[in-house]
Amino acid sequence: MLLGCIGDDFTGSSDLGSTLAREGLRTVQYCGVPTRDAAPDVEAGIVALKSRTCPAAEAVADSLAALAWLRRQGCRQFFFKYCSTFDSRPDGNIGPVIDALMAELGADRALVCPAFPTNGRRVFQGHLFVGDRLLSESGMENHPLTPMTDPDIRRWLTLQTRLGVGHVPYQTIAEGAAAVTAALEAEVGAGRPVVVLDAVADGDLRVIGEAAAGVALVTGGSGVALGLPANFEERSGRGEGGWEPVAGPGVVLSGSCSAATRGQVSAYSRHHPALAVEPLRVLTGEQTAAEAADWVLSVLDAGPMVYSTADPEAVSALQASHGRDAVASAVETFFAELAALLAGRGLRRFVVAGGETSGAVTAALKTESLRIGPEIAPGVPALFDAEQGLALALKSGNFGAPDFFESALAVLGPDR
C-alpha cells in the first residue's frame, strides 16, 4: 500500500476514494480498523472512522489505531480526511488528531487544506469560503453538531492544536510547487508546523500535491487528495481495478431527509414501488423490518424503494415529541435490520441514502472492505464488497442529481 488514509466519517471516505481512484490509485475503503491485512494489490487504503463528533480522546485513539494498521501495510504517506467545511468544535477533533498523528510519525509538519473547489469550498488568505460566502455566513454557523462560527481556519485550528499554526498564502501557491516548498520550510523553521494552505482552483491543489511529495502527513477535504497520487510513480493507473458490477436484485434504502434526497425520493417513486417508513409506527412496533422485507420481495422486479425521508417540519415535530436520538436510532435500526434480512434473501445491490444510515446498513451487512468503482455522481462511487459479492452506493444527504437512485442501480449492475 502506498497511501494510507484516515477518514473521519463514512460517506466522506467514499468521496475521497472516488478522487484517489480517478487519479489512478487502486483504492479500498475499510469500515473501521481492519483486523486482517489488506490485499496485496491495494495502493490506497482508507480507514473510515466515525470520529468527527465523538469526544476528542476517542477520535485520537481510533485515528492512532488506523495509523498503526496503515503503517503495517507499508504506507509511506498518510492523509487525514475531514469535511471540506472543516466541521469541528473549538475543542476538537481535527487539531488533536493532527497533533497525535504528527507525534506518532515523528513528522515535523502537517499540511492543512480543506479546499474543494468543485463543490465551492475555497481557502483564501486563510479564510474558508462556501461559494461566495464566508464559512461563518454560509449556514454552517447553524450546524446542529459543529457550528462553524469563524471562517479563519488558522484561528480555529489555534484553538484545537498545541502546535504553532502557519500559513502559505495564495500568492505563493500561484508561484508553483518550489515556492510552496520554500514557504513550508520557513513556517516550520519559525515554529509553525501545522500549515494552512490557500487553494481556490484544482490547479492550486495539484501544486500543493507536488509540494507534498515526501511530506508524511497531509490533511484536508477530498479535494487536496487530487494532487497526491501523481507523486507515486509506481502506481498502477487502474483506480477501479478490482471493482466489478454485481448482477442480482437491487433495492433503494433512503434514511436521509436532506433536500437533495427528498427530490430523489420523489423522482424515483414516480416510476417504482415505494414503501414509506413511519417512525412513529416503528417506535411502537407496528411497522417492522420483517414486513418491509416481505414487501420488497413481493415487488422485487420493479426496483423497490423503502424510505423514511420526510420534510423538515415532520422531522422536527417527531423529534420534539419523541426525542431526536430515539427517533434516529429507531429508524437506523429499522434500515439495518431490513438490509440484513434482504441480503439473507438474495439481494445483491443496495443503494443507500444518508451518512448515518449508510453506517448502520454497512455494519448490519458486515461489510469489512469496499473496492472503489466508477463514479455515479461527483463524490459518490460505486462500491464492491468482493468477499460477499455485494455492490453498494452510499450517498451522503446533499449529493447527486434527481435521478441518482435510478443511475446508481444501473451502475451497480444488471437485475439478473
- Contact positions toward ligand ADP, by CB under 6 A? 255-258, 261, 279, 308, 310, 315, 318, 327-328, 331-332, 354-357, 396-397
> Which residue number, 14 or 161, has a Cβ lying nearer to ligand ADP?
14
Task: State residue 287 phi and psi, 5-degree precision.
Answer: -115, 125
Q: How near is the Cβ of 254 to ligand ADP at its closest, in Å?
A: 8
Nearest CB to ligand ADP, comparing residues 73 and 319? 319
- In the bound complex, what is the minimum distance in angstroms from residue 288's beta carbon to ligand ADP? 16
| Shorter beta-carbon distance to ligand ADP: residue 201 or 326 | 326
Q: Cβ closer to ligand ADP: 70 or 252?
A: 252
The minimum distance between CB 38 and ligand ADP, in angstroms, equals 27
Instruction: Read off the DSSP letter of residue 196.
Output: E
Q: 105 vs 276, which CB is nearer to ligand ADP?
A: 276
Q: Who's near 267: CB < 8 A, 6+ residues apart?
A: 402, 403, 405, 406
Answer for the pair 239, 338: CB distance below 8 angstroms, yes or no. no
Q: How many CB atoms lie within 10 A of CB 107?
A: 15
3-state secondary structure of 305: strand
HEC assignment per residue over 228-293: CHHHCCCCCCCCCCCCCCCCCCEEEEECCCCHHHHHHHHHHHCCCCEEECCHHHHHCCCCCHHHHH
CB of 112 to ligand ADP, least distance (A): 25
The minimum distance between CB 353 and ligand ADP, in angstroms, equals 7
- Cα(344)–Cα(158) distance, integer angstroms: 49
C-alpha distances (whole Å) from 400 to each of 48, 115, 316, 378, 410 are 21, 20, 24, 7, 14
Beta carbon of residue 335, minimum distance to ligand ADP (angstroms, whole number): 7
Minimum Å distance from CB 255 to ligand ADP? 4
The distance of closest approach from Cβ of residue 314 to ligand ADP in the complex, given in angstroms and rounded to an integer, is 6
Residue whose entry in the numeric block shows the C-alpha cell 485550528: 157
Question: In this complex, which beta carbon is closest to ligand ADP, that of residue 115 or of residue 257?
Answer: 257
Q: How far apart are CA 169 and CA 26, in angstroms?
A: 32
**DSSP character string of 61-85:** HHHHHHHHHHHHTT-SEEEEE--TT
H or E element: which one contains 210? helix 202-211
The residue among 85 and 308 lying less far from ligand ADP, judged by its C-beta, is: 308
For residues 160 and 357, which CB has a smaller minimum distance to ligand ADP in the complex?
Answer: 357
Please choose, from the candidates 48, 51, 71, 73, the residue with its C-alpha nearest in 3D space to the C-alpha of residue 60.
51
Residue 295 neighbours by CB distance under 10 Å? 15
User: Nearer to ligand ADP by C-beta: 249 or 354?
Assistant: 354
Q: Choose between 8 and 150: whose C-beta lies nearer to ligand ADP.
A: 8
Least separation, in Å, of the C-beta of 315 and ligand ADP?
A: 4
At closest approach, how far in Å is the CB of 107 from ligand ADP? 32
Nearer CB in complex with ligand ADP: 27/256: 256
**125 vs 116, 148, 169, 194, CA distance in Å?**
15, 17, 6, 15
Q: CA quadruple 336, 259, 10, 351: dihedral positive or negative?
A: positive
Nearest one of 296, 292, 291, 307 to 249, comparing CA atoms: 296
Quick count: other Cβ atoms within 10 Å of Cβ 72?
12
- Smallest distance from ligand ADP to CB 47, Å: 20
Closest CA to 85 of 39, 167, 25, 143: 143
